Amino acid sequence: MTAQADVFLPGHEVAQIVVGNTIEGQYRECGTARNDFVEYYAPDGKISGKERACNQAGDWTNYGGAWRVEDGKFCVNLGSERSNGCFDYEAAEDSTLTRVGEPGVGNTKFKIYDGNPEGL
């Protein structure tokens, strides 16, 4: 996976990276509505996830959602309390994917894991 700065991946390429795999997001700086999370992107368009308070040990809360490719972008719908919409992404060679310019959040970096190691 490679991408140059300011060159965003088309939605179908993001789908090729994440579908059938798991992403993990952990914020360096905690703030309102920022939770650590793990999400599995199923081939049938469903997302199974779990989250807990940012940088805290403790119990995880499960949630679900859906993904799609629309107008050339990768889109997620995770419910009213989470980020929803169609976003730009950049990939790096260190098995990470960055969601760029998310309103109210900025950039979010995800670690990508093969398959569904969390059994979501």
Report percent pLDDT > 90 for the chain: 52
Judged by average pLDDT, the poorest of 2-16, 35-49, 50-64 is 2-16
Quick check: 6 pLDDT over 80? no
What pLDDT is recorded for position 108? 83
Residues 6+ apart with CB under 8 A from 18: 41, 67, 74, 97, 112
Q: Mean of the pLDDT values across residues 6-30?
A: 86
What pLDDT is recorded for position 27? 59
The fold adopted by the segment(s) 11-113 is Lipocalin (2.40.128)
- Residue 24 pairs in a beta bridge with 38, 111
Give the pLDDT band (50/70/90) at residue 35: confident
Quick check: 32 pLDDT over 70? no
